Amino acid sequence: MTAKEIISDSIYPAKTSDSLRILLNRMHEYRVGHLPLIRYNQLVGLIHEDDVRLAIDTKQDSKLGDLPHELIYVYENQHIYDVVRLFYLHQLDILPVIDEKQYYIGCITIHDVLNKVAIITGSDEPGGIIILEINNRDNSLSRIAQIVESDNAQIMSSYIQSFPDSTKMEITLKLNRTDIASIVASFLRYDYDVKATFNDVRVYDTSRDRYEQLLNYLNM
């Protein structure tokens, strides 16, 4: 999924000919703290609400092009992961999108990103979640997938979290079913450390002792 596919169709950029008051009202209407500023269809930068408000309060005769702005953007063909990274790094609620010729083609809001991330990670679908803690050298997604698929289930999405100064990492698995007790038992049988589970239809303690009891039952 690329940036172009998640452009908002309801937010219009500011133009250098707009007044400060009109721009501030538009920010309130859109409920955003930034708006892209364009000149001749090219991106000038992001205008911050605080700078607009300061110029109005101090009764400065400022033009929009004279206000401080940040030149932050994403190209239309960049992946959604790049979009998420820029939102996180710069703490934005809106991100301009440009084409290869530097022309402004639209913007993405944080709500657009959240909606799409929910879809591509399977968060909008029911399913159990398993968190495994493994050594860095044991990171074999193919083996993990084989264990899940051997129980007639599938991994809808997964992500890895590493930790500084540690040889351990966490792998989070979102599965396509909520009855995950037998899958958890399989991971334990293969000596995986199951750190946590979520959304399991069976309510049980996630401690190792309970899982060992389940293993004993399954092996009877």
pLDDT above 60: residue 211: no
Using one digit for the tens of pLDDT, what is the confidence trace for 91-137? 999 999 999 988 999 999 998 888 888 777 777 678 899 999 888 77
Sheet bearing 34-39, strands edge to edge: 14-15, 34-39, 42-48, 69-70
Using one digit for the tens of pLDDT, what is the confidence trace for 38-87? 988 999 999 999 888 888 888 766 667 678 788 999 999 999 889 999 99
Which CATH architecture group holds 3-118?
A: Roll (3.10)
- Tell me which residue of 72, 77, 83 sits closest to 48, measured CA to CA: 72
Residue ranges of the domains in the chain? 3-118, 129-218
Using one digit for the tens of pLDDT, what is the confidence trace for 21-48? 888 998 999 899 999 999 889 999 999 9
User: Is the distance from CB of 194 to CB of 130 less than 8 angstroms?
Assistant: yes
Q: What fold is seen in the domain 129-218?
A: Alpha-Beta Plaits (3.30.70)
pLDDT at 136: 72
pLDDT at 125: 77
